[in-house]
Amino acid sequence: AQTVTQSQPEMSVQEAETVTLSCTYDTSESDYYLFWYKQPPSRQMILVIRQEAYKQQNATENRFSVNFQKAAKSFSLKISDSQLGDAAMYFCAYRALDSNYQLIWGAGTKLIIKP
């Protein structure tokens, strides 16, 4: 069975600096999708970035980028120029390419931004 592990329950970073959140996963599949979601105190779940496993190029979305290491089954999220609004829980999620398309979630990392 697939699993997703986020080994950092909490991270803190100074405003304007860069922080990297870790995510590893276990799967025997060769094709799949990976996602990072953000959950601010408002409780909404917001998509940050996604990566298709067949793409070698790392996905980027403005200040957010990933380091996707397929052989190592690692999918870390880098946030550049951290802002106070980035403070939230961040969840990593895996989706297999089967007919059900369900997500498997990590336990989350709480990101604290220090002003």
Partner 1 sequence: NAGVTQTPKFQVLKTGQSMTLQCAQDMNHEYMSWYRQDPGMGLRLIHYSVGAGITDQGEVPNGYNVSRSTTEDFPLRLLSAAPSQTSVYFCASHEGGNQPQHFGDGTRLSIL
Q: Which residues bind partner 1 (CB under 8 A)?
A: 4, 6, 9, 33, 35, 43-45, 47, 50, 52, 91, 93, 99-103, 105-108
Given the complex with partner 1, which of 18 and 102 has the nearer CB atom?
102
CB atoms within 10 A of CB 73: 17
Given the complex with partner 1, which of 71 and 98 has the nearer CB atom?
98
Torsion of CA 115, 77, 44, 104, to 10 degrees: -150
Minimum Å gap between C-beta 4 and partner 1 is 7
Minimum Å gap between C-beta 88 and partner 1 is 14
What's the token pair of residue 54?
A: 């067949």
Residue type, 86: D
DSSP assigned state of 70: T
Minimum Å gap between C-beta 18 and partner 1 is 24
Given the complex with partner 1, which of 32 and 86 has the nearer CB atom?
32
Minimum Å gap between C-beta 77 and partner 1 is 15
CB atoms within 10 A of CB 62: 9
Given the complex with partner 1, which of 47 and 112 has the nearer CB atom?
47
Report how far residue 109's alpha carbon sits from residue 76's, in angstroms, rounded to the nearest whole number. Answer: 12
